[in-house]
Structure 1
């Protein structure tokens, strides 16, 4: 009887649907053509469930401004993902938090290329302050600190 229970349990497990493999989150990265740290950040995102399409551009300031990124928050790349904009080396946990929460913002930015942030070398020496911005002219606000 014990053998029959094991067989039934095994067969029941086989009949259960396998969990769906999550599709990668598609992102488009507009980057300065001469910036290699952007490629490192794209690799970091890809290791964390994103599919990053690279678009080198010499018009990055224009692209960032058109996407609503305030001048003081612009970085060496601008990413468009699922209706949002990301500038700078924002940790993936904060990016996924934004995508899950769906706040009424245009996007987020980690300005200044801080050491130890994803895409940059070195050791993290201070908390990363990630700012949220909108396109209605309001001042950026702190979205998360990591």
Structure 2
């Protein structure tokens, strides 16, 4: 999966950052998850006209991630090239280490993914559920699931986030 992402991105800068952050992650202690994930580099592809994407980027930065935002005019092509099944798509797409993060996935779930390293291509929150990071509206939140997905499009619930009244 990592080679596919690197080939698609084709960026020497990304390769250098991935190598650097991978070394940091390998050296970090399993007990200190904040240190391990805070040094990782997240590339976010977003439509220039989408406001919630910027809010999600802020959420990730506020939770210790280094983020590079890339404005993308053809998000469907980017999602297809990264292997995100249409039924799992949302507005923005991110790449971190050897995983793809689709949509409004909370930072805590990304940190857990990076610490546990389950088999799969990434995490997705399909659509744009109210109350997910970047889609906040007061204290209200719809119930939603963060899904672990693979190249075949198979999914498993990685984390359930319950609704609030």
TM beyond 0.5: yes
TM (norm. structure 2) is 0.71
Structure 2 unmatched ranges of 5 or more: 1-33
Which residue of 2 is the match for residue 107 of structure 1?
122
Distance in structure 1 (CA, Å) of the matches to 2:140 and 2:146: 15
Q: CA deviation at 1:92?
A: 1.1
Cα deviation, 1:64-97, whole Å, max 9, x if unaligned, reads 1111111011111100001100011111111111
Displaced runs of 4 or more, over 4 A: none
Alpha-carbon distance between aligned partners in 2 of 1:120 and 1:29, rounded to the nearest angstrom: 17
Question: 1:76 corresponds to which residue?
Answer: 91
RMSD: 1.8
CA contact (8 A) 2:131 2:142 kept: no
Q: Partner residue of 1:16?
A: none
Offset of 1:34 from its aligned partner?
A: 0.6
Question: Using the alignment, how far apart are the partners of 2:81 and 2:140 within structure 1?
Answer: 31
Equivalent residue, structure 2, for 1:42? 57
Match runs of 1:1-146 below 5 Å: 22=35, 23-122=38-137, 123-135=139-151, 137-146=152-161
Normalised to the residue count of structure 1, the TM-score between the two structures is: 0.79
Instruction: Check conservation: 1:31, 1:54, Cα contact below 8 A.
Output: yes
| More helix as a share of residues | 2
Q: Secondary structure at the match of 2:129?
A: coil
Q: CA deviation at 1:127?
A: 2.5
How far off its partner does 1:124 sit? 3.6
Structure exhibiting the larger radius of gyration computed from Cα positions: 1
CA distance in 2, matches of 1:88, 1:48: 16
Report the number of matched residues: 126
Worse overlay, 119-128 or 41-50 = 119-128
SS of residue paired to 1:109: strand
Retained in 2: the 8 A contact 1:117–1:124? no
